[in-house]
Amino acid sequence: MWDVIIIGAGASGLMCAIEAGKRGRKVLLLDHAKRAGQKILMSGGGRCNFTNLYLEPNNYLCDNPHFVKSALSRYTQWDFIALVDKHKINWHEREHGQLFCDDSAKQIVTMLLDGAKQVGVQLQLQTEIIAHSQSADHLFTLQTKQGSMQCHSLVIATGGLSLPKMGATPFAYKVAEQYQLPVKPTRAGLVPFTLQQKDKFAALSGISLPATASCEVKVGKKSKQISFSEALLFTHRGLSGPVILQISNYWQPGEKVSLDLLPSLDLLHILQTQQQTNPEQTLKTLLAKQLPKRVVECLLEMAAIENLPLKKYHEKQLITISQLFHQWSPQISGTEGYRTAEVTLGGVDTDFVSSKTFECKTTKGLYFVGEALDVTGWLGGFNFQWAWASGWAAGQEV
């Protein structure tokens, strides 16, 4: 018999376990994997982008945009930074306020595991939950191959569907279904795009350049434009890099993404002035001064634009050329899917979960935290901060 059983020893589950343990609760933390915190270990290229300095609620996607506010304001990035500092883990800031460990993501996992141990949390790995139920007196009973166990509070911290090879499962959504909680449709987020004419772009694989990606997003009945400016990377199957991962959270199949490959230039103005001052210069020569030659050749070829001296183009053609590079709209066939996605969009409907306690509004004692919920952050440490904050908040209540 336990006060609290937490299923999922990832970022949110570990944080929740520590906080509940600090309050003197008898906590069992279960996971089916061999190791705790596997995604933390592989995150940020092994250095874990553990939070972000410039965190705002609008860095998150959730059908109820207000849902994230309470937890994020109660356990902030500064709280996690203080914890990391207390454990003498050195870190550094990269662009856009992203904070990474200087040495290794292992330090974050060790810090959390030590924290859990210190407050008496029992960690049980390689444990499969076969069945679970709640009795009339609100006690939960869990069946595992290692036997059955009971608890007053059950926390589901099993994350989303990304990286099934690392042990991701739809466990949280199945629990939600069992307790009649709606789940918002799920899809891969922070994920590379695949392109329809991928063979035509294969030669560009490995090229990286700064770009701005934009797409239309529906907000209620209105739509607004959302944009990100970061690096774009051509891959052998399509497009990746931070700018693509960011916009992938907002892209819906069948919709357009517009890419500005020269975000800091006014190409039309350059074309017009160069036409006057250097009319014999060819288009390709001019463009290759601003962009990798292979990218220029590929895009001109695909748009069937001839390479001529600048004097040969009339105004309308100059506008078309400028739009090709400022508003390139590649034909996206889809995404690389959960195999490579960093996160899962959608999840347990937040209308049915308290934003303060993370307890399910319709089932006493049942809690959902972390990525299992319909909350997804931008790239840059926002997803871990959500895991820490939601785990922390539930840890005060369970």
User: Given the rule CB under 6 A, which residues bind ligand FDA?
Assistant: 7-13, 31-33, 38-39, 42-44, 48-49, 129, 157-159, 162-163, 167-169, 171, 342-343, 370-372, 381-384, 387
Closest distance to ligand FDA from the beta carbon of 118 (Å): 20
Question: Tokens in use for 58?
Answer: 């609008």
> Which residue's beta carbon is nearest to the bound ligand FDA?
10
Q: Please, which residue, 260 or 342, has the CB nearer to ligand FDA?
A: 342
Closest distance to ligand FDA from the beta carbon of 336 (Å): 12
Q: Please, which residue, 7 or 321, has the CB nearer to ligand FDA?
A: 7
Structural element, H or E, at residue 151: strand 147-156
Closest distance to ligand FDA from the beta carbon of 33 (Å): 4
Q: Please, which residue, 238 or 347, has the CB nearer to ligand FDA?
A: 347
Q: Is 282 exposed, middle or buried (0-12, 13-18, 19+ CB in 10 A)?
A: middle
Asked if 227 and 244 touch (Cβ cutoff 8 Å), the reply is: no
Q: Please, which residue, 38 or 107, has the CB nearer to ligand FDA?
A: 38
How far apart, in whole angstroms, are the C-alpha atoms of residue 28 and residue 17? 8
Question: Tokens in use for 21?
Answer: 């343990």
Q: Please, which residue, 78 or 312, has the CB nearer to ligand FDA?
A: 78
Closest distance to ligand FDA from the beta carbon of 225 (Å): 25
Closest distance to ligand FDA from the beta carbon of 194 (Å): 18
Q: Please, which residue, 175 or 296, has the CB nearer to ligand FDA?
A: 175
Query: Hunting for tokens 């790995």 — which residue is that?
Result: 125
Question: Tokens in use for 391?
Answer: 């785990």
Q: Please, which residue, 4 or 324, has the CB nearer to ligand FDA?
A: 4
Closest distance to ligand FDA from the beta carbon of 390 (Å): 8
Structural element, H or E, at residue 144: strand 140-144
How far apart, in whole angstroms, are the C-alpha atoms of residue 311 and residue 75? 61
Q: What backbone phi and psi angles, to 5 degrees, belong to 387?
A: -60, -45
Asked if 18 and 121 touch (Cβ cutoff 8 Å), the reply is: yes
Closest distance to ligand FDA from the beta carbon of 239 (Å): 18
If you ran DSSP here, which 8-state letter would residue 229 be given?
Answer: E
Strand (E) positions, 289-329?
none
Q: Please, which residue, 13 or 115, has the CB nearer to ligand FDA?
A: 13
* Terminal CA-CA length for the chain: 15
Our measurement of the distance from residue 133's CA atom to the centroid of its chain's CA atoms, rounded to an integer in Å, reads: 32
Asked if 140 and 165 touch (Cβ cutoff 8 Å), the reply is: no
Closest distance to ligand FDA from the beta carbon of 25 (Å): 19
Q: Please, which residue, 49 or 248, has the CB nearer to ligand FDA?
A: 49
Nearest-Å Rg of the Cα atoms of the chain is 24
How far apart, in whole angstroms, are the C-alpha atoms of residue 21 and residue 120? 6
Closest distance to ligand FDA from the beta carbon of 104 (Å): 13
Asked if 211 and 232 touch (Cβ cutoff 8 Å), the reply is: yes
